[in-house]
């Protein structure tokens, strides 16, 4: 049974990576360890098996197992939202019901993918999935899986139990519009890490993203600065975060995030192919050298993993 309500999701919520061995095997022990590490660093919740979690790279049974392992490790200390999106309503409902049974507090989904579904079919999808559990649903707007425009989100907001959106898009004026026209009770989670300050400025209720796996403290400080109206401080923190984000995106991005987590004492394993990996000690050493050179050429003191390498 869920412990938290949708209003308990706020602050800095990592879109949790999933740990795999180099051969692609799901590593439950590492997944448990990285969850515990982020809890110790004060994150405000978790978002599981989404894009960052390589959810579409896993079988339904593997996705279910990740949710079980993480919910068991979290043990009700922070709220957990599970991405359950799949190519069919049938499969999505099964994932949603398993997430509820495992102790998740909310579910989330991209719209149905691959075929060009009609607006009515998309609404029917969210209606059916939301009705399949007692958990609140958060729609997931991301261009990779088919963007949900304002008019569609307004329609989805009328579905009983659909309580918000994970909004991963640069059009942050829509966040303000949702808060005004759909209503302040409709929860909006900013999903663009490089625009967290903007998302919060337009009224986002929290942050969900990839880089909160490696620099959650920086974003916690940014969130606090925004809440206190210290805009100059918030901008300086966003600039630091963006330097790190843009540099990491020039590497093998998700594999680099996982290696950085390992340098912080929480080995997150590797990515599944066809993603690239830093497979050898020499490749990882070169990555670390690149981060050192990057650190030394930027004003990035006080960033834990950069100070530590």
Task: Choose, from 166, 179, 240, 258, the residue flagged as catalytic.
Answer: 166
Order of strands across the sheet with 46-48? Answer: 11-14, 206-209, 187-190, 162-168, 137-142, 106-109, 80-83, 46-48
Q: What's the Cα-to-Cα distance from 121 to each of 28, 113, 125, 135, 211, rounded to whole Å?
A: 36, 11, 6, 21, 33
Q: Which two tokens stand for residue 92?
A: 């999505």
Q: Tokens 């050192």 map to which residue?
A: 292
Q: Which residues of 228-244 are buried (b: 16+ CB within 10 A; e: fewer)?
A: eeeeeebeebbebbbbb
In this structure, are residues 222 and 215 in contact, taking their beta carbons and an 8 Å threshold? no
Q: Which of 28, 20, 25, 19 is nearest to 69 (CA)?
A: 28
166 is catalytic: yes
In this structure, are residues 276 and 252 in contact, taking their beta carbons and an 8 Å threshold? yes
**Strands 187-190, 46-48: pairing kind:** unpaired
140 is catalytic: yes
Task: Choose, from 47, 125, 126, 140, the residue flagged as catalytic.
Answer: 140
**What SS3 class is residue 208?**
strand
Active site residues: 140, 166
């Amino acid at each position: 049974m869920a412990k938290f309500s949708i209003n308990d999701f706020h602050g800095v919520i990592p879109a949790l990576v999933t740990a795999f061995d180099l051969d692609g095997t799901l590593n439950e022990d590492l997944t448990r360890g990285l969850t515990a590490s982020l809890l110790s660093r004060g994150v405000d919740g978790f978002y599981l098996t989404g894009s960052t979690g390589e959810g579409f790279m896993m079988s339904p049974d593997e996705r279910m197992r990740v949710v079980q392992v993480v919910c068991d490790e979290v043990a009700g200390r922070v709220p957990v939202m599970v991405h359950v999106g799949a190519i069919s309503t049938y499969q999505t409902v099964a994932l949603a019901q398993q997430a509820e049974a495992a102790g998740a507090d909310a579910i989330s989904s991209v719209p149905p993918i691959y075929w060009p579904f009609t607006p009515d079919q998309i609404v029917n999808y969210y209606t059916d999935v939301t009705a399949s559990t007692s958990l609140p649903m958060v729609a997931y707007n991301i261009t990779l899986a088919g963007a949900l425009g304002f008019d569609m989100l307004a329609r989805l907001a009328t579905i009983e139990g659909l309580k918000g959106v994970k909004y991963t898009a640069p059009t942050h004026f829509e966040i303000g519009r949702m808060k005004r026209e759909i209503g302040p009770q409709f929860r909006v989670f900013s999903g663009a890490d490089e625009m967290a300050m903007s998302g919060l400025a337009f009224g986002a209720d929290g942050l969900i993203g990839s880089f909160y796996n490696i620099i959650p403290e920086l974003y916690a400080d940014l969130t606090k600065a925004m809440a206190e109206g210290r805009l100059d401080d918030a901008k300086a923190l966003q600039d630091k975060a963006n330097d790190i984000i843009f540099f990491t995106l020039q590497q093998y991005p998700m594999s680099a995030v996982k290696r950085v987590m390992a340098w912080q004492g929480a080995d997150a394993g590797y990515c599944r192919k066809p993603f690239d990996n830093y497979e050898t000690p020499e490749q990882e050493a070169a990555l670390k050298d690149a981060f050192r050179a990057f650190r030394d050429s930027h004003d990035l003191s006080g960033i834990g993993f950069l100070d530590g390498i």
